[in-house]
Amino acid sequence: MIEADEIDIIKLVNCLRSEAQKGTDPKSIKITLEDLSDKYLQPVLEDDALLFELGDLMSDIETKAVDYEEFEAKLQKDMPEDFSRLQVTSDRDEDYFESYKGNSIHREMIEDRVRTEGYRDFIEKNPSVFKDKVVLDVGCGTGILSLFCARAGAKKVFAVDNSAIAVRAKENVEKNGYADRIQVIQGRIEDFNTSRQIGKDKVDIIISEWMGYGLLFEGMLDSVLRARDMYLKDDGLLVPSHCNIRLAPISDAAWIADATGAAFWKDVYGFDFSSMIPGGLLNHREIGVFDVPPTALCGTANAHLLEMKTASIGDLSFKIPLHMKLDRDVDSLQAIAIWFDTIFVHPGSEQDVKTIDDVDWQKNGIPGLGFSTGPANTPTHWHQAVLLLDDEVAAKQKFKKDEVLEGTLQYAKEKGDDRGITVTVEWKGKGEGGEVEGRVRRSMA
């Protein structure tokens, strides 16, 4: 049986509504999940009561296939009289949004000057891009990006966040005198209630700070891409416009021993506590998050560029060719570090995105163009994602300087959890005793 999630059901309802408007015979309708494109996230019927209460009703619907007329009849029969708003969150989603309601996480993000000033510089150094424009801020948090946009001249900003932090965002907007231009909406960007408040007119700009560890952890980009398809004008701008996923091999036994805790646990007042090592922050099960010393890197690799204007949700699970060139002799590769660049390029920009790889980011990047979260740059709250190799694999990774390791980089969503990721890196190279293979697969949930 094919499993459909809440978003698929929303698409299905709108697809069936569309077919009904065409006068299609219900018995002749055949639909697969592949037929349900994101265009069906846009409601077909204004104030569709079925969509309003869909989240509350789904748990009461049997999973066996039913005729559409039976499906509609059951929903109508069970539908409460009080229509509030669409609720399609899973427990994982509820935990995610709950984690963003407190002050501390937002202070950490705002105090990340690379992040906050990167967005501010792009907005304020390009006032003509924002002047008199309608902006949608997806996941607005405290409202800081919305306020930057309004201060730069945006005539209207829709600030959307499903977390309870939206209450504070509304207060921040009012205290700073922008309530006439910034409308705070608490709800998921995919919610029908959110859509109704934004209205039918498309927006000029979608801005969002959606990036997670390793770029794609937390799965927030999915919502940004849905917002793009639902609300953005064809010639509209997404901020950021592009992101680069980068990685590099690590060869630094002393740093690895410190990160895994081995340096500490192997000698605790003369006792061997090495059984504690597997429970460390860097381990053989999960993706770790660390500030990696630049000196620990022993090579470079090709980047993977994502363009927000054209990327699909399917593109966020990928497998690409990988080329890692070593910059020194190594007796062992112990780990892989992953980070990302965030890039702001608007239609009038002179910057060719194809040359971004060659940009001298210095410590933070070029003001107004973006920022990097790499080891050589000013540390950010994203740090770097680190995948620790199994000991037996690491021991075989002995190579000479300038050796090129050929392989693949794969990102995959966690099954049943769109916010988690599994990253797999595989490679082959010429070692002293012949061809050497390596592989590491780690998850973050």
Per the omega criterion (within 30 degrees of 0), is the bond before 80 cis? no
Contact of 420 with 387, CB cutoff 8 Å: no
Closest CA to 410 of 370, 442, 363, 375: 442
Both structure tokens of 258? 């410190």
Active-site position among 218, 392, 426, 435: 218
Contact of 36 with 185, CB cutoff 8 Å: no
The number of beta carbons lying within 10 Å of the beta carbon of residue 351 is 17
Both structure tokens of 368? 């107004």
Contact of 322 with 302, CB cutoff 8 Å: yes
Closest CA to 69 of 112, 127, 11, 29: 29
Round to whole Å and give the CA distance between 394 and 387.
12
From residue 91, how far is each of 55, 63, 88, 108, 441 by CA, in Å? 13, 19, 10, 25, 26
Round to whole Å and give the CA distance between 23 and 11.
18
- Give yes or no: 218 in active site: yes
Contact of 178 with 170, CB cutoff 8 Å: no
Closest CA to 338 of 405, 409, 394, 283: 409
- 32 residue type, one letter: T
Phi, psi of 297 (to 5 degrees): -75, 140
Round to whole Å and give the CA distance between 398 and 97.
45
| Cα 69 from chain centroid (whole Å) | 38
- 387 residue type, one letter: L
Round to whole Å and give the CA distance between 307 and 353.
10
Q: Is 362 left (phi over 0), alpha (psi -120 to 50) or beta?
A: left
| H or E element in which residue 211 lies | none
Round to whole Å and give the CA distance between 146 and 159.
6
Active-site position among 209, 403, 426, 437: 209
- Give yes or no: 209 in active site: yes
Active site residues: 209, 218
